């Protein structure tokens, strides 16, 4: 498995902006623009990571501190596409070009997202944030000496020991409930579980999938050499 952090930074938001994906000190890439938003930086970091690893077969675990990015790519996108890339209220999806490029880049890939708390000492997240911010600062100063990183090369190795579990007093966030609001999900998008119901029976689960989601599930299960049910259980 490849474990990488992806982060973005925008001074003023919008303002001078940067993005970075990071595996280790010898395997990272960064870039940015004179004017952009934090969300654009976060999305671009994931997109460039997918492009850099497109030739690899390993599953990709993306550590990200943006719930907007995680929700957009794992929950909201199917509804947006069914509505012609429009949100529940009929307004156009923000960052459309990036979203469509990410949709293409994710197709056929084995990947997972892990939410990590930003600015909390998570080593890989801090490293990505530091580099994305350095790009934004470089553009703020005129665009000279923008750090780009070595990119993905033969020296890159998956960071197999970099996954950091949340501390006991900081449980992992419930992404389905704690969603970002700046590019909103449908208001009637019900959570899969009722986390506040202590009597809930989670031994059986019925999950509705779109045709595209079902196809993607089957493809990933076949790639892993297991049944779709076993593949889903492996994600729990």
Question: Distance between CA 136 and CA 9 in Å, rounded?
Answer: 7
- 29's enclosing H/E stretch is strand 27-36
Q: What are 29's strand-pairing partners?
A: 21
Catalytic residue among 8, 18, 31, 41: 8
Residues 181 and 187 sit within 8 Å (Cβ to Cβ): no
Residue 119 annotated among the catalytic residues of the structure: yes
Question: Distance between CA 82 and CA 87 in Å, rounded?
Answer: 10
Catalytic residue among 18, 42, 48, 122: 42
Residue 145 annotated among the catalytic residues of the structure: no
Catalytic residue among 7, 31, 32, 48: 7
Residue 188 annotated among the catalytic residues of the structure: no
In three-state secondary structure terms, 73 is helix
What is the phi/psi pair of residue 39, to 5°?
-65, -40
Catalytic residue among 18, 65, 122, 183: 65
Residue 129 annotated among the catalytic residues of the structure: yes
Residue 35 annotated among the catalytic residues of the structure: no
Residue 31 annotated among the catalytic residues of the structure: no
Question: Distance between CA 97 and CA 157 in Å, rounded?
Answer: 31
List the end-to-end C-alpha distance of the chain, in Å, as a whole number. Answer: 16
Residues 124 and 5 sit within 8 Å (Cβ to Cβ): yes
Question: Distance between CA 2 and CA 9 in Å, rounded?
Answer: 23
Catalytic residue among 84, 119, 208, 225: 119
Catalytic residue among 18, 36, 129, 183: 129
Question: Distance between CA 46 and CA 48 in Å, rounded?
Answer: 6
Angle subtended by helix axes 38-52 and 96-106, to nearest 10: 30
Q: Which residues are catalytic?
A: 7-8, 42, 65, 119, 129
């Amino acid at each position: 498995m490849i474990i990488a952090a992806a982060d973005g930074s925008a001074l003023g938001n919008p303002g001078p902006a940067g993005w970075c994906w990071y595996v280790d000190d010898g395997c990272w890439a960064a870039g940015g623009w004179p004017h952009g938003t934090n969300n654009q930086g976060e999305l671009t970091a994931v997109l460039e990571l997918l492009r850099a690893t497109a030739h690899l077969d390993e599953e990709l675990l993306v550590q990200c501190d943006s719930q907007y990015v995680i929700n957009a790519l794992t929950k909201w996108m199917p509804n947006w596409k069914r509505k012609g890339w429009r949100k529940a209220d009929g307004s156009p999806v923000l960052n459309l070009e990036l979203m469509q490029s990410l949709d293409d880049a994710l197709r056929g890939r084995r990947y997972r997202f892990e939410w990590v708390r930003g600015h909390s000492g998570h080593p890989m997240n801090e490293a990505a944030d530091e580099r994305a911010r350095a790009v934004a600062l470089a553009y703020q100063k005129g665009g000279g000496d923008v750090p780009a990183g070595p990119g993905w090369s033969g020296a890159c190795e998956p960071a197999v020991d970099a996954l950091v579990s949340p501390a006991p007093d900081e449980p992992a966030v419930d992404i389905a409930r704690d969603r970002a609001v700046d590019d909103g999900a449908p208001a009637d998008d019900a959570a899969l579980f009722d986390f506040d119901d202590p009597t809930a029976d989670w031994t059986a689960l019925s999950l509705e999938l779109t045709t595209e989601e079902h196809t993607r599930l089957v493809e990933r299960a076949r790639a892993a050499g297991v049944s779709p049910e076993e593949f889903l259980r492996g994600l729990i």
